[in-house]
Structure formats: C-alpha cells, structure tokens
Amino acid sequence: MLEAKSFELFPEAASSIAGHVDAFYAFMVLVSAFFSLLIAFLVVYFAYKYRHRPGENIVYAPYDDHSLSGMLLEVVWTAIPLGLSMIMFVWGVSIYFTESRPPADSLEIYVTGKQWMWKIQHMEGAREINELHIPVNRNVKLTMTSEDVIHDFFVPAFRTKADVLPGRYTTEWFRATKVGSYHIFCAEYCGTKHSGMIGTVTVMSESDYNKWLGEGSGEGSMAEQGQALFNQLGCGNCHASVVNNQNGRCPNLVGLFGSTVELKNGQRVRADEAYIRESVLFPQSKIVAGFDDYMPTFKGLITEDGMLKLIEYIRSMRNKNGVISSATPLPVQTTDGPRPAGSTPAKAVPAAKAAPALPAAR
Amino acid sequence: MITATPPPKETKNYLNAEHGLKSWLLTQDHKRIALLYLIAVSAFFVVGGIMAVLIRLELATPAGDLMDSNTYNKVFTMHGVIMIFFFLIPSIPAILGNFLLPLMIGAKDLAFPRINLISWYVYMLGGCFGVFVLLSGGVDTGWTFYTPFSTTYSNGYVVMTAMAAFINGFSSILTGLNFIVTVHRMRAPGLTWFRLPLFVWAHYATSVIMILGTPVIAVTLFLLMLERGLHIGFFDPAYGGDPVLFQHLFWFYSHPAVYIMILPSMGVISEVISTFSSKKPFGYTFIAFSSVAIAVFGFLVWGHHLFVSSQSAYAGMVFSILSYIVAIPSAIKVFNWAATMYKGSVRLEAPMLYALGFIGLFTVGGLTGLFLSAMGLDVHLTDTYFVVAHFHYVMVGGAIMGYQAGIHFWWPKMFGRMYPRAWATVAAALTFVGFNLTFFPQFILGYMGMPRRYHVYPPEFQVFNVLSSAGASVLGLGYLIPAIYLLWSIKNGEIAGPNPWGATGLEWQTASPPPTENFEVTPVVTTEAYDYTALKLTQEVAHVG
C-alpha cells in the first residue's frame, strides 16, 4: 500500500506472479549468499592459515599444476556453477513465459505514455491520467504505446514491467490479488521529469470497481468513441463496416481484426494493432490483395489515443457481424462468436464484453 | 617511519632520460605514454567522481532540493559517460598495460610506438569534446543514448557527446591493435604463449574485444549523429526508424565493453594473488583460457539488456542461457584465485588487500548478474537500483579495486619509490567498507522497486539512500588518501629496489624505474611463468617482515 513506511526489505506482493518471483529471488539470494560466504571464508582462512610470518623464509609450494586432483577440482567448480545456473535459467524462463503471455480472458485496458504522464483508457469509456483502477482477482492486460520516447510501465507490487515504445504496441498483464494502492513508475529514462512520471494503481473489489466504472466519462465506450472518430475522419466512405458489404473501394473491416490478410505482393500478415496503425499512417506499406493503392495517409490527423480508439472499434467488429459491443461493466463471459470464413486468429483474443450488442450505427 | 632518501644519481631511467615538456608530449616511450594516460585518466576520474558526489548528495533526501531535474539528469549522464568512456575503458589497459606489456614480455617497446602516442592524442581530442559538453551545459541522455530520446527529444549537446565517445573509441582500437601485434611479434626468446604472465593473456583478450567491438559503437554513434543532425531515420519511428535497433547495436558493443573494463583487472588480480602467495596461480591454463572464453562469449549476450524491450521471448531465451555460460569462466577464475592462496606464503601487503577486496566484491557483482540473466526476475529488476548496484559491484568493486591493486603493486616499479604502507592499508580498508555501505543498500532499493535515474523518489526509499550516501563519503576518503600518499611518495618515498615484492615477472628483473630501453640485455626466458623456486630472492624480498 502506498502509505509511506520507512523501513522495508521487500515490496508489497500484490499480484498472482509476485509470489513466484519472490520465491525465485529468495532462492537466488540463498545461492549467492552461500557462494559469497564460501569464497570469503576460504580467502580469509587461507590468508590467516598460510600467512607468512616475519623472519621466516618463504616456502615455495611445489608445482602441482596438472595433477589429477587439480584437474578434478577444475571440473568440479566448473560443473557445479554450470548445473546451478541451468536451474536458474529454466526457472527464469518459466516465470518469464507466464509473465509475458496474457491469459485469454483478460480485461483489456489501453495505456499511452507521453512525456511525462500515463494516459489510461478503459474499454468501457472511462479515461484516467496517472491513475489505473482495476478489479481485484481479475486478469488485466495492458496494450501500450508511446507518443514520444520510450517509457516503461512498472508496478513493483506486481513484479512486472514492460517497455512502452513509440510506433509499436506492447503488452503487459497481471492479476492483482490484494485490494490497495500501489506505485506505477516509469522505469525507462525519458527525460527531464522521468522521476515525476509516476502514478497509482488502485485495486478495488469487483463491486467497487463496477461502481467506479459506472461513473464513466459520459462519452460512451472506447469502441463507440472510435466509431465516432471513424465517421469524423470519413473512413466509412470507403471502408465498409457492415458484414458482407463488398462495395467499398477499400477492404471491409468486419472480421478483420485478428485475421490473416493476404497482401498484393503475396505476403500474408496478421491484422493486429500494429497492422491497423501502420495501415492508417502509412497505407502504402501494405496493400491488401485485390485493392489499389488508394488510401491517403492519416498521419498528423489522429493522436495515439485516437488510434487506440479506432483499433478498439475495429476490434469490436471482429466477430460480431457488424455490431459493436457496448460499455458494460464486467461481463465476464468469454464467447468467441462466429468468424468470417478464412479468418485465422493467431492468438486467443479476449472476447469481449459480450453484452447487449448494439447495431452498428450505419 | 619512512625517511626520504636522495635519488640515486648514477642510474639513468625513463623518468630522467630527457627533460622538458616536449620530451614528454612527443615521447614514443611506452612508459612515458603510460604516465601521460595516468595524468589524463586521473583527471577524468576526479571529474566523474565529483558528479558521483553530487548524485549522492541529491539522493540523500526524497525531494529534489539540491538541483533541478534537468541538472540532475545531466549530472548522472556526465558521470556515466566520463567514468565509462574516459576512465574505466582506458584505465588499466592504457596505463598499466601500456607500461607493463613490453616489460613483461622482455621487449624494448610496443610494436608501434608512434601509434601508441597517437592513441593518447586521440583520447585527448575525444576528451576535449567531453570537456566542451561539460562546460557548455551538458547532455541529459544517460550514457546509453537511447533513441528516440537522444535523437529527437533531448535538449543537450548529444552530437558533441556522441562525438567524444566516437573519437575516444579510435584510441581504444589503436591501443588494442598495438597490444595484439606486440604480444605476437615482440616476445623475448623462450617466452612461449604458455609462459606469458596472466596479465598479458587478459590484455590480449581485452584487445580482441577492443578491435572487434569498438567499430560497432562507432558506427552506431555515427548513425545517431546523422539522425540527430540530419533527421535521417534509423531509430526514430517518426522518421520510419526502429528505436529498439539502437539498443541492439549499442549493447552489441557496450556489453563486451564491460569485459574490456573487467578483464584487465582480472589480469592484475592473477599477478597480485600469485606474488603475495609466492605461488604459481592455481590452474594457470584455466585462468588464461577463461579470459579468451569471456572475450568470445561476451559478444553473444547483449540481448539480456532487452528482456522488457519487446524482444522475442525465444531470442531472450538464447541470450539468457548464453549469459549464464559467460558467467562460468569468471567463476573459474575466482575459485582458482582462492586455490592459489592454499598452502602459499601469504603476505597481506596493500596490493594483496585490494586484490582480496576485489575477489569479495567481484563475486557479489558476478552473482547478482545471475539474477539479471534470469528472464523472469530481470523483468522486475531491470531499470531499478538493483542494476545500478550490480554494475557498480563489477565496475567499481571489480574494475577499480583491480586498478588500485595494480597501481599499488607496480607503483614502486613505475617510480622507484615505495608509498607508506600503513596508509595504504587504511585506504584499502576504507574503500572496501565504504564501497559496501554505498552499494549494498542499492540492491535492496532495487528489489523494493526504486527505478534508476530518478531525481526525486517516494519517501519509503529514503533510509537506504541515506545509508548509500553516507557510504559514498567513506568511499570518497578511500580514494582521496591514496591520491595524496602516492603523489607524496614520488619524491619522498623509500627507494623500492628492482623487486620489492619478490615477484617473478620479467618487469621485476630490471631496475625501478626501468631504463628507457627497458632491459640492458634482452632477457632470455628459460623457465615457466611464476617459477618462484627459480627466483633467488630470500634476501631481495626487502620488505617482508
């Protein structure tokens, strides 16, 4: 919790992964302490036991460099550290794979880093700055990008962090296990007020969280905001967002997200966040098979926050036959709706807020 | 007490062979060039040290009350840039290596004396750029120059700083080249590869890293300058670049650069432990080849700096396992050093105290590196004070302790005078205690989650920061005292004699200070390295007892 305690050796452990990281850390500390003390003891003991006494002649030990016992020692003190370090390697990798793979049922939240603040957008529409409210005991996945330099979203109490890169989307996930408030630090040096780029994660009980979400922003869900932006930028003039409508000059967006797209040059790419961002800002770089190089760049016309809203809108159309999901707090059910033929989800995309589906506005 | 003895007037040596500023600035004598480096590198150490003092003063309280954020960022950046590029990388190779390599292999000089002098001028030119940046307002990128902050957003003198490091790199390349050719071509008759002192093996391995790695950082910094100055997009996504590409290129050099800093120190420790145990280093061949193994594997581990930088998990696994592999040769060295003392005849002179301090601190530094090689743990620890503590244990506790051991060991050879040993013992003890007090609390701070490069911090981190700042003042004293007594000893120290420690290397078989041509007669080597039984010195070991 955030109230200042003056003397502690461990940070609060408030996530599902924290206990695993702490246990591994304790193992590492024990191994290190053992070897440090062993070496220190040997060196001090030898320095005392074999000390040269004043007045004595120096006794030169005979050469035994390539003796069998010497070689045996070398083998032993190569093999033991090697064996131990392989345990560390495997243990470290196993924790890393848990840390780096968000569970499919995660609650999705978007984060934009900017010198020197954190901007958070909830799918349901709530927005916050330097604050992150999440429910306890629920997997949360952050999709993050930066408007300027590299930042890093670090929550010590959750024992996890990930770099936040300009021009890319990175993810970080955790499951908070204790209600409370915890530090968010920017861990990648980002300029003048780097140490001021801090915030607070507030972990709430599910009912408190629902209440908090209900207060909302009054601007509708992220997807709805994305849809408004979609209309404002005139995207719908060319891109159909109704299922089976192939009249547009540009690809139909229904069912696009998470599918594999065949390009004009024969390549196949997955339509993820980065693909959509690139297609909006640099439309010429990947032309979909069967379409022309028609779309102008929207570079400079859309912010990173706006881009996340657009992505969320397009994502909301991925399997809903042209309807978007609405802002409803905590519908936990995970349902993968029917996918358009040919779509191959490369990863389990958390399904969405399968709440009362609104018909698309167009 | 030590009484001043008048210098022996009859002997000509490299110090009194010629006089005047010109005889120093145009010298081609490797020993004089080593002293030129000693002066310049020490000056940069003082500047970098002042920056460290400012950092620790600021961090004694959670609020930013000593300086503003911009100033703080510039101070830690200059601390890193100066200490790494202008102190740690050149310290042992360019000072002790330059002085000792020809002496140790029985040569008159390095293979290319003029290139050696040029390397010093190149270093000084790079230094001028560094001093210009310092005087004109500094730079705030951190020594790592991460893009796109450095290329697009920083307000400091990024190009000038990059230029300083860029130019300085050529000095490293020239030194490395000179050492490699010298070791291949200039060894005395009978001095086979496996009769070479371990100091020479360590410097050979270091030189290989210098000439293979440094060009990569030069190219990287050049690309950085192009993007910063001409907006050519390599790294900034706004220009179509890739910000993580910079990190790959940067660490491809900068991780091996860590071994440029620590390997020469390990060479010093092998010499010192052997001499003050009067025993051949245990596992000579293993220590020699472990240096080579570190140089080779050191090039394959850079990705462990990128576990949270969106690098693929499978690439991360490869870098993680290779990082464990590169730790093994270091472990082998530590065990062999300890075994060298077994059944030796151990004398706790000042260089030995520093060497034992090195073993303790380097062991902790190396073991905490294993924490950071573990992917799952690194996610929590990277970019925190744990990393700061870890690399200071390796760089300061390792590289600088080794440098001090070496300076104390060869000082009598370099100047022909002995320093006051009681003071040296005090300084070694203060350094060890002050160092641990400064940096051990930072491991705890790091695990608690305090990020590095933080100007202000939450109040719960204050206790350990105060401990750290208090330790830094003790550590500072540990550096100040030797500076005083070593300078004092040049004129006033006791005459040391050619072999005050009873050591076996060829450098101890010539006068202290050595004559300009190093040896009156080219030595012929007929015995293995560290053959103490062949050394007739029971009387010569003047200072034993």
| CB within 8 Å: A89 and B373 | yes
Q: Which of B338, B345, B544 sits opposite A42 (nearest CB)?
A: B338
Chain A: give the shortest CA distance to residue B71, in Å. Answer: 9
| CB within 8 Å: A74 and B334 | no
**Beta carbons of B137 and B77 less than 8 angstroms apart:** no
| CB within 8 Å: B382 and A94 | no
HEC readout, A84-140 = HHHHHHHHHHHHHHHHHCCCCCCEEEEEEEECCEEEEEECCCCEEECEEEEECCCEE
| CB within 8 Å: B375 and A5 | no
> What's at B410, amino acid-wise?
W
**Chain B environment of A4 (Cβ under 8 Å):** 458-460
The pLDDT assigned to B472 comes to 96
- The structure tokens listed for B305 are 């700096």
Task: Enumerate domains of chain B plus CATH numbers.
Answer: 33-534 (1.20.210.10)
The pLDDT assigned to B10 comes to 56
Query: Tokens 């994502």 map to which residue?
Result: A315
pTM score of the predicted model? 0.89
Chain A CA closest to residue B156: A191
The pLDDT assigned to A62 comes to 60
Chain B: give the shortest CA distance to residue A33, in Å. Answer: 8
Which of B65, B367, B539 should we substitute to test contact with A (largest number of A Cβ atoms within 10 Å)?
B367
Chain A: give the shortest CA distance to residue B437, in Å. Answer: 16
Chain B: give the shortest CA distance to residue A361, in Å. Answer: 34
| Sequence-separated (6 or more) residues with CB below 8 Å from residue B462 | A6, B61, B62
Beta strands in B322-481 (DSSP E): 417-418
Q: Which of B327, B378, B544 sits opposite A85 (nearest CB)?
A: B327
The pLDDT assigned to A326 comes to 40
**Chain B environment of A163 (Cβ under 8 Å):** 308-310
Give the distance from CA A69 to its chain's centroid.
Answer: 51
**Beta carbons of A141 and A109 less than 8 angstroms apart:** yes
Which of A142, A161, A197, A303 should we substitute to test contact with B (largest number of B Cβ atoms within 10 Å)?
A161
β-bridge mates for residue A239, sequence order: A250
- Residue of B323, B416, B423 whose CA lies nearest to B374: B323
Which of A32, A87, A89, A272 should we substitute to test contact with B (largest number of B Cβ atoms within 10 Å)?
A89
Which of B195, B246, B290, B308 should we substitute to test contact with A (largest number of A Cβ atoms within 10 Å)?
B308
Query: Tokens 């012929």 map to which residue?
Result: B524
Alpha-carbon separation of residue A105 from A45, A69, A330 (angstroms): 58, 58, 12
- Residue of B317, B206, B306 whose CA lies nearest to B256: B206
Distance CA B56, CA B67 (A): 12
Alpha-carbon separation of residue A47 from A41, A64, A181, B422, B500 (angstroms): 10, 20, 52, 18, 20
Where would I find the H helices in B137-233?
158-185, 198-230
Q: Is the pLDDT of residue A1 over 70?
A: no
Which of A8, A15, A46 should we substitute to test contact with B (largest number of B Cβ atoms within 10 Å)?
A46
**Chain A environment of B331 (Cβ under 8 Å):** 77-78, 81
Distance CA B161, CA B132 (A): 9
Distance CA A47, CA A77 (A): 21
How much is the CA Rg of chain B, to the nearest whole Å?
A: 23
Domain boundaries, chain A: 107-215, 222-359
Where would I find the H helices in chain A?
18-49, 68-100, 206-215, 222-232, 273-281, 304-316
- The structure tokens listed for B257 are 């650069």
Residues constituting chain B: 545
> Residue-wise pLDDT tens for chain B (545 aa)?
445 555 555 578 999 988 999 999 999 999 999 999 999 999 999 999 999 999 999 999 999 999 999 999 999 999 999 999 999 999 999 999 999 999 999 999 999 999 999 999 999 999 999 999 999 999 999 999 999 999 999 988 999 999 999 999 999 999 999 999 999 999 999 999 999 999 999 999 999 999 999 999 999 999 999 999 999 999 998 888 999 999 999 999 999 999 999 999 999 999 999 999 988 999 999 999 999 999 999 999 999 999 999 899 999 999 999 999 999 999 999 999 999 999 888 999 999 999 999 999 999 999 999 999 999 999 999 999 999 999 999 999 999 999 999 999 999 999 999 999 999 999 999 999 999 999 999 999 999 999 999 999 999 999 999 999 999 999 999 999 999 999 999 999 999 999 999 899 999 999 999 999 999 899 999 888 888 877 654 434 444 43
The pLDDT assigned to A341 comes to 38
What is the arithmetic mean of pLDDT over A271-299? Answer: 87
Give just the sign of the alpha carbon dihedral A218, A224, A228, A230.
positive
167-226 of A, contacting B, C-beta below 8 A = 167-168, 170, 183, 185-196, 198
| CB within 8 Å: B462 and A43 | no
3-state secondary structure of B523: coil
What is the arithmetic mean of pLDDT over A48-65? Answer: 74
pLDDT in tens, A317-359: 876 544 444 433 333 333 333 333 333 333 333 333 333 333 3
The pLDDT assigned to A25 comes to 96
76-105 of A, contacting B, C-beta below 8 A = 77-78, 81-82, 85-86, 88-89, 91-100
- The structure tokens listed for B146 are 């991460």
Chain A: give the shortest CA distance to residue B269, in Å. Answer: 13
Beta strands in B476-531 (DSSP E): 494-495
Q: Which of A32, A39, A61 sits opposite B344 (nearest CB)?
A: A61
Which pLDDT band, with edges at 50, 70 and 90, does A284 fall under?
A: confident
Chain A: give the shortest CA distance to residue B539, in Å. Answer: 9
Residues constituting chain A: 362
- The structure tokens listed for B449 are 């989650």
A274 reaches B (C-beta below 8 A): no
Which pLDDT band, with edges at 50, 70 and 90, does A162 fall under?
A: very high
- Residue of A252, A359, A273 whose CA lies nearest to A315: A273
The pLDDT assigned to B41 comes to 97
Q: B453 in the Ramachandran plot: left (φ > 0), alpha (ψ -120 to 50) or beta?
A: left
The pLDDT assigned to A349 comes to 37
Q: What is the Cβ-side half-sphere exposure of residue A8, based on CA atoms within 13 angstroms?
A: 18
Distance CA A18, CA A106 (A): 18
Q: Which of B146, B346, B452 sits opposite A52 (nearest CB)?
A: B346
A114 reaches B (C-beta below 8 A): no
Q: Are strands A131-135 and A198-204 parallel, antiparallel or unpaired?
A: parallel
What is the arithmetic mean of pLDDT over A278-290? Answer: 88
Q: Which CATH class is domain A107-215?
A: mainly beta
Chain B CA closest to residue A196: B456
CATH number attached to the domain at A222-359 = 1.10.760.10
Which of A60, A90, A284 should we substitute to test contact with B (largest number of B Cβ atoms within 10 Å)?
A60
User: What are the b/e assignments for B377-392, b being 16+ CB within 10 Å?
Assistant: bbbbbbbbbbbbbbbb
- Whether the link from the prior residue into B351 is cis, omega within 30° of 0, is no
Q: What is the largest CA-CA distance in chain A?
A: 102
Q: Number of Cβ pairs closer than 8 Å across A and B?
A: 286
The pLDDT assigned to A254 comes to 85
Distance CA A343, CA B498 (A): 82
**Beta carbons of A309 and A229 less than 8 angstroms apart:** yes
| CB within 8 Å: A36 and B321 | no
| Sequence-separated (6 or more) residues with CB below 8 Å from residue B395 | B83, B84, B88, B258, B261, B262
**Chain B environment of A152 (Cβ under 8 Å):** 308, 383
Chain A: give the shortest CA distance to residue B249, in Å. Answer: 16
| CB within 8 Å: B370 and A32 | yes
Distance CA B506, CA B199 (A): 12
Chain A: give the shortest CA distance to residue B483, in Å. Answer: 27
| CB within 8 Å: A58 and B335 | no
Q: What is the Cβ-side half-sphere exposure of residue B188, based on CA atoms within 13 angstroms?
A: 25
- Residue of B432, B452, B429 whose CA lies nearest to B440: B432
**Chain A environment of B142 (Cβ under 8 Å):** 189
Which of B248, B273, B375, B378 should we substitute to test contact with A (largest number of A Cβ atoms within 10 Å)?
B375
**Chain A environment of B140 (Cβ under 8 Å):** 191-192
Distance CA A345, CA B4 (A): 84
- Residue of A159, A180, A168, A214 whose CA lies nearest to B236: A168
ipTM: 0.92
Q: Which of A32, A40, A148 sits opposite B153 (nearest CB)?
A: A148
The pLDDT assigned to A352 comes to 38
Rounded (to 5) percent helix, strand, coil in chain B: 70, 0, 30
Q: Is the pLDDT of residue A115 over 60?
A: yes
The pLDDT assigned to B239 comes to 87
The pLDDT assigned to A240 comes to 75
**Beta carbons of A334 and A105 less than 8 angstroms apart:** yes
**Beta carbons of A110 and A120 less than 8 angstroms apart:** yes
Chain B: give the shortest CA distance to residue A8, in Å. Answer: 8
